[in-house]
Amino acid sequence: MSRERNIKSTKKSEKIESDHDDYTSAQKEKDVSVSKPSGVQTFAKIYYVLMPVLVVIIAGLLTFAVTRQETATIVKGTTKETGTGKGGKAKETPKKEVLLTAEELAKHDGSDPNIPVYLAILGRIYDVDKGRRHYEVGSGYNVFAGRDSTPSFVTGKFAREDATDDVKGLSPEDMMGVKGWLDFYRKDYTYVGKLIGRYYDSEGKPTEALQEAKALIKEGQRLQKLQDAENKRFPGCNSRWSKDEGSLVWCSENSAGINRDWVGVPRRMFKPGKKDPKCVCVKATGPSSDTGEGNEGDLNNPNMKLYPGCGKYDVSCKL
Ligand code: HEM
């Protein structure tokens, strides 16, 4: 009995204790909710404050990433030229070859200030926007903007309606001029890609027209070498004109910019196919440059004629 009572009393006391516990934790909870926010409330607060900030940051990052991607795409098209440079040294290679149609290139004709000006020469497209003032609508060289007007570089025909990309009829010397401009754009401007049309096909491969144009340039270079060699052999004369003296031609060790260890004597050089003779300085001693024989230099060259009134060994002649 006493044990039973004891147990009862213990259970009761446990119950009381437990009730007391309930009361205590409820009270505690109440107290806590008054003095300090709960975990859920704290989370909610952080969530509502930080969420908009996070959204703004993520949106910003996304915009930045997309813009970068777009810029990268444009940059891809404006890499340096492909191929091999002097001495077989490889130049920067674009990841992707940019090919434009005539219509696409035409958008870059300088009429829209927001679109960079491009031009093509022998089918190679260059971004000439940094020299925009030369090419924009109304400027002197607008004939080249947004199209390929290769022959105009040597013919000087600057009307857009007359311009063409066809170099047919140009001489090897003219094509050397074209090559000079090509080198200029290579050096001074950014290569964009190729124009699909006369000089490159839809896969960017060179056409027959380009091979022919290149062959003409090679011929021009060959002729230029011959000309350089002839200029060394027969340098031009110095010349002067005055009212009192009239015309005077003479030779010196650097006439026509050819520095040499001989002076020579003035002669009229008649060349087959050339209407007017040219005054050149001819070696008057040593072996002939044609035969390697004799001791009168090139005085006996059949293309050379003495100036009337001038002595065989005179270094200057009054005309
Ligand atoms: C076939 C004949 C000619 C062609 C194809 C030609 C072509 C050009 C081209 C394409 C430019 C722009 C170069 C660049 O992008 O930096 C240029 C600039 C220039 N050209 Fe010509 N040109 C010719 C004749 C002349 C002549 C005869 C003169 C002078 C009398 C001349 C004077 C100039 C000047 C001064 C500039 C620079 C303008 C500046 O920096 O503002 N050009 N030329």
Closest ligand 1 atom, CA of 154? 1
207: three-class secondary structure by DSSP: coil
- Find all residues with CB under 8 Å of 94, minimum gap 6, and list them: 76, 77, 79, 80, 82, 193
Looking at per-residue pLDDT, the higher value among 282 and 7 belongs to: 282
Q: What is the pLDDT of residue 202?
A: 96
Does the pTM of the predicted model rise above 0.75?
Answer: no
Write out the H or E segment, with its range, that includes residue 317: strand 316-318
Task: DSSP for 254-314, please give it.
Answer: TGGG---S---EEEEEP-TT-SS-EEEEE--SBS-TTTS-SSBTTTT-TTEEPPTT--TT-
* Probe target for ligand 1 pocket from 134, 135, 181, with the most ligand atoms within 8 Å of CB: 134
Give percent above pLDDT 90 in the chain.
67
* Probe target for ligand 1 pocket from 132, 141, 176, with the most ligand atoms within 8 Å of CB: 141
Looking at per-residue pLDDT, the higher value among 52 and 6 belongs to: 52
Distance 153 CA to ligand 1 centre (A): 10
Distance 143 CA to ligand 1 centre (A): 12
Answer whether residue 183 shows pLDDT above 70: yes
Answer whether residue 91 shows pLDDT above 80: no
Condensed to tens digits (0 to 9), the pLDDT of residues 255-278 reads: 999 999 999 999 999 988 888 999
Closest ligand 1 atom, CA of 155? 1
Looking at per-residue pLDDT, the higher value among 23 and 61 belongs to: 61
Q: What is the pLDDT of residue 81?
A: 52
Nearest protein Cα to ligand 1, atom 36 = 134
Nearest protein Cα to ligand 1, atom 34 = 134
Lookup: tokens for 168: 């047919």
Q: What is the pLDDT of residue 43?
A: 60
43: three-class secondary structure by DSSP: helix
Nearest protein Cα to ligand 1, atom 8 = 141
Distance 40 CA to ligand 1 centre (A): 75
The chain-wide mean pLDDT, for the chain, equals 81
Nearest protein Cα to ligand 1, atom 6 = 153
When pLDDT is averaged across residues 105-111 and rounded to a whole number, the result is 97
Closest ligand 1 atom, CA of 181? 10
Q: What are the respective helix, strand and coil percentages of the chain, to the nearest 5?
A: 45, 15, 40
Q: What is the pLDDT of residue 61?
A: 63
